[in-house]
Amino acid sequence: MIDGAEAISREWVPTQAEFDLFAQISGDDNPIHVDPDFSARTRFGRTVSHGMLIYGKLWGLLKSTYPDCRPSGQTLMFPNPCFVGDRVRLDVRRESDTTFAIRATRISDEAVLLTGEAEVA
């Protein structure tokens, strides 16, 4: 059983250095994430965060409050892109002993960047 806070929230401002480091660690070096010149010519106009970087930030928030939990699964959707310099609100809310609702929202326009559930053991 997970004990502790029912909901936790934190603000995050992603940087290109984080995008680059995540690309290096994950091996996902798609230019949409790491090449500002390439990305400027796309429909986004700038680099876009890896979805799993956002999830990693949310998982880190969950682990900081519930250090003994272990991941057992997740369901994720990425309805809008996350850009360098966006102020992002990371929210984790306990739904049950083994399920957390997770969400990342761009603060400026309330666009949902990630929504889903994290399951823990």
Residue 77 lies in a domain: yes
Alpha-carbon gap, residue 105 to 6, rounded angstroms: 19
Residue 63's pLDDT is 94
| 112, two tokens | 């949902």
Alpha-carbon gap, residue 95 to 6, rounded angstroms: 8
CATH number, domain with residue 57: 3.10.129.10
Alpha-carbon gap, residue 9 to 87, rounded angstroms: 13
CB 92 within 8 A of CB 7: yes
Distance of CA 28 to the CA centre of its chain: 16
Q: Which domain holds residue 116?
A: 7-120
Q: What is the number of domains present in the chain? A: 1
Using one digit for the tens of pLDDT, what is the confidence trace for 60-92?
A: 999 999 999 999 999 999 999 999 999 999 999
pTM assigned to the model: 0.92
Residue 2 lies in a domain: no
Rounded to the nearest integer, the mean pLDDT of the chain is: 94
Residue 97 lies in a domain: yes
Task: Report the alpha-carbon angle 104-108-109, nearest 5.
Answer: 80
Residue 1 lies in a domain: no
pLDDT classification of 4: cutoffs 50, 70, 90: low
